[in-house]
Structure formats: C-alpha cells, structure tokens
Amino acid sequence: MSNKRRSVVRRSNEPENIGSPLTTPLYSSVVYHYSDVDQLKAVYEKKAKGFTYARYGNPNSAVMADKISWMENAQGGVMTASGMSAISAVFLGLLEAGDSIAAATQLYGQSLKMTSQVLPRLGFETTFFDASDPSTFADAIHPSTKIILAEIVSNPMLRVTDFPALTKAAKDVGALLVIDNTFTTPTGFNPLDHGADMVIHSVTKMLSGHSDLNLGYIGANDPELLNKLDETVSTLGLNASPHNCWLAEKGLHTFDLRLKQAQENASKLSRLLSEHPKVSRVHYPGLSTHPDHAIAKELLNGGFGTMVSFVLKGGYENLNTFLRAAENIPYGPSLGDVATMLIVPAVSSHRELDSSERLKLGIEDNLIRVSVGIESFDIIRDDFLEALEVA
C-alpha cells in the first residue's frame, strides 16, 4: 500500500525490520489482501501459499496444527474451535445418508450425547461396544459402520481400549477409526502409527494446560480425508480463533515438563489412595490391580496418565464433607489443568445417565475423579490426607 494519500482508516505498512520475531505473533486479522486477481486466485487454487479469510485458516492455527501433527506423527491436521467441534467436523464432514456409527460406551460425556442423541436425530444409527472387551465388537461393528469413535484411556473409569483388536475390527468392515486421544496425550500413544485413521484432541485440556481457552485438533495421514475435514471446518464455521491458538502455543511449549510431573504425581497419588482406609477402590492403569494394567503397560509408552479415580467410603453426605475439606483443590468440571482438580462424574459428566446405567459403566455415586496437576507432590499428599481425615 502506498502512503500517497494518508488516512487513519487506511492500514499502515508493516514497520521495516530485518529481524524475525522469536515468538509467533498473534495474527488477529480476519482478512488478507492481495495486489491483484491472479495472486488471490493462485491462493484459492492452492498454487501459492497464503491466507485469505480467517475462517479458512490463519497463521496461528497453522503453527498449532503443525506442532500437534508433529507430536502425533500425522501427515497433517486441522485446528477447530473446541474438542467437540473436532468431533462434529469428523461426523458432519464424513458421514453420508445411510451410514451408521459405532462408539465406545465409555466416552467423554458430550461425545456420548452426540452419538446417542444428536446423530440418531439426524438419521444416523449408533451402536455401542465396550472398548476393553473385544467380544462386544462384532455385534456393534458391521459393514454399514462408517465411523468408529473410541478413546484409548476412558473417562472416568480409566479402562484401556484393546487397540489391536479394535483396529482389526475396523479394517475388517472398512470403517474409519477415530481416536479421541485427549486423556492419553501424544506422548502416551500415537493412534495413527498403530492403524487409526484420525486422531482428535481437546487441546483445551493437557496440551494447552491452563484452563484459559477451548481448542480442538484433528490429525490424519490421508490427504483426501484432511481436505474434507478442512472444508467442513470452514464451511460449518468450526474454525479455531487465532487468539486461542496463539495462547495455546505458549501452553504447549511446557507440555512435556507438565506431563512428566503430573504423571509422577498421579502415580504416587494412586498408591497413597490405595492404602487409605477411607477409600474403597482406586482406578489407575498404573496399579497392578487395574483390570487393564497389562495392556496399559504394552500400549502407553511407559506412563499411565494424569487421571486417577477413587471411591470414597460413606454416603453422598460424606462426599460433600470431603470436597469441602479439600478446600485448596478446586472442584470443577474439567481436566488437564496445571493445578489438581476434582470432579464427581455422577453429578457432572455422567449426570444424564440414571444411576443403574452409571453402575453398568462402573461409575459409583461416590466416585471422585482427580485430574492431577503439577504441584510438588508433598502439597497434593497433605491436601488429600487432611481432607480424608475429616471425611
């Protein structure tokens, strides 16, 4: 742009600078302008690289997609506004009339709602299987199954998917296998390397790590799938905001360190709780008593994750007594934060199921799920011991 006729309305040129910014600048611009038709056309036709309008992608989302794809060993990836918009993009972008879906019974609460209520309302049938029990696969996964959705480590029972059996079942019927890898993280397992077609993250959680944004990611190796997902995200407006990508990148830089510390803490906490007289059961795949300990050891790259669930003895009132006594540990419906957090699945993520349906999944009313943070373990230990003393 020339400065011949100046107006404050007209945008300025970028200041001259032979250096390059060390950190990724925030590109809040929605629009990118070009000098002529040919230039913009070349970008639209993917003959030249460039951004046009932020719903179709922006530099901050491109940087984030590239980083997570590298962590997941994916050929490419697409950022979305949230974890749920990633899941929406997969279903709405890839399903055709008449297709059906197979989903694990233990999924993130809203994914369960999507597969059991939203998609059936649109005419897509969903069948369910127990991801840790391959004998249930044959009934749920059949030739009209187009998409299979599962998580590697489930919420909140931390059951581990029999992944080799599930990939085989998917291949046998030619279905696309989609893994929500949020709980497991790319360090714990890379689904695409082991036969999944797509991997999803709620970047909101451990990857960004500070509970200050919603963001999602879908990774894949097949360029045709990636193209469809990219188009779906821009057409349906499921795109990620530049600001959230920019902020999430700062969190991502410390992901390895946070995971290491939180995972060590989780392992120690699981042992502490197992030995405590006020606790009747502990669910953590790292414990030899966990029903999926053997497959967790095989699949999870030497770590067992940052989530621990336990059942507190006593009735509902005791649950409140414990939560009030644990006043320094926030009780709130999320996970993957730098700080340790608690939820009670029966009254949050799984409140829409009745108590017998919950019990079928193993979710007792007094089950408390802990998202273990990066505090020094002494602090976590003292907080839990004090609160259990009162409960």
Ligand X SMILES: *Cc1c(COP(=O)(O)O)cnc(C)c1O
Which residues here bind ligand X, judged by CB under 6 A?
Answer: 82-84, 108, 111, 151, 155, 180, 182-183, 202, 204-205, 214, 216
Task: Please give the distance of CA 57 from its chain centroid, rounded to a whole number.
Answer: 20
The one-character DSSP state at 260 is: H
Neighbours of 33 (CB within 10 A): 10
* Cβ atoms of residues 206 and 374 within 8 Å: no
Distance CA 17, CA 337 (A): 38
Where does residue 380 rank: exposed (0-12), middle (13-18), buried (19+ CB within 10 A)? Answer: buried
DSSP for 281-317, written as a single string: EEE-TTSTTSTTHHHHHHHSTT---SEEEEEESS-HH
Q: Among residues 82 and 221, whose Cβ is nearest to ligand X? A: 82
Whole-number minimum distance, CB 361 to ligand X, in Å? 15
CB-side neighbour CA atoms (13 Å) of 158: 27
Is the peptide bond preceding residue 333 cis, with omega within 30 degrees of 0? no
Q: Among residues 82 and 261, whose Cβ is nearest to ligand X? A: 82
Where does residue 58 rank: exposed (0-12), middle (13-18), buried (19+ CB within 10 A)? Answer: buried
Whole-number minimum distance, CB 88 to ligand X, in Å? 9
Whole-number minimum distance, CB 182 to ligand X, in Å? 4
Closest CA to 270 of 239, 303, 319: 303
Q: Among residues 128 and 183, whose Cβ is nearest to ligand X? A: 183
* Cβ atoms of residues 103 and 115 within 8 Å: yes
Whole-number minimum distance, CB 304 to ligand X, in Å? 16
Would you call 326 helix, strand, or coil by DSSP? coil
Whole-number minimum distance, CB 200 to ligand X, in Å? 7
Whole-number minimum distance, CB 105 to ligand X, in Å? 14
Q: Among residues 80 and 322, whose Cβ is nearest to ligand X? A: 80
Would you call 185 helix, strand, or coil by DSSP? helix
**Token pair belonging to 10:** 């007209």
Whole-number minimum distance, CB 198 to ligand X, in Å? 13
Whole-number minimum distance, CB 1 to ligand X, in Å? 38
Q: Among residues 181 and 270, whose Cβ is nearest to ligand X? A: 181
Q: Among residues 111 and 221, whose Cβ is nearest to ligand X? A: 111
Q: Among residues 202 and 270, whose Cβ is nearest to ligand X? A: 202
Q: Among residues 248 and 323, whose Cβ is nearest to ligand X? A: 248
Would you call 382 helix, strand, or coil by DSSP? helix
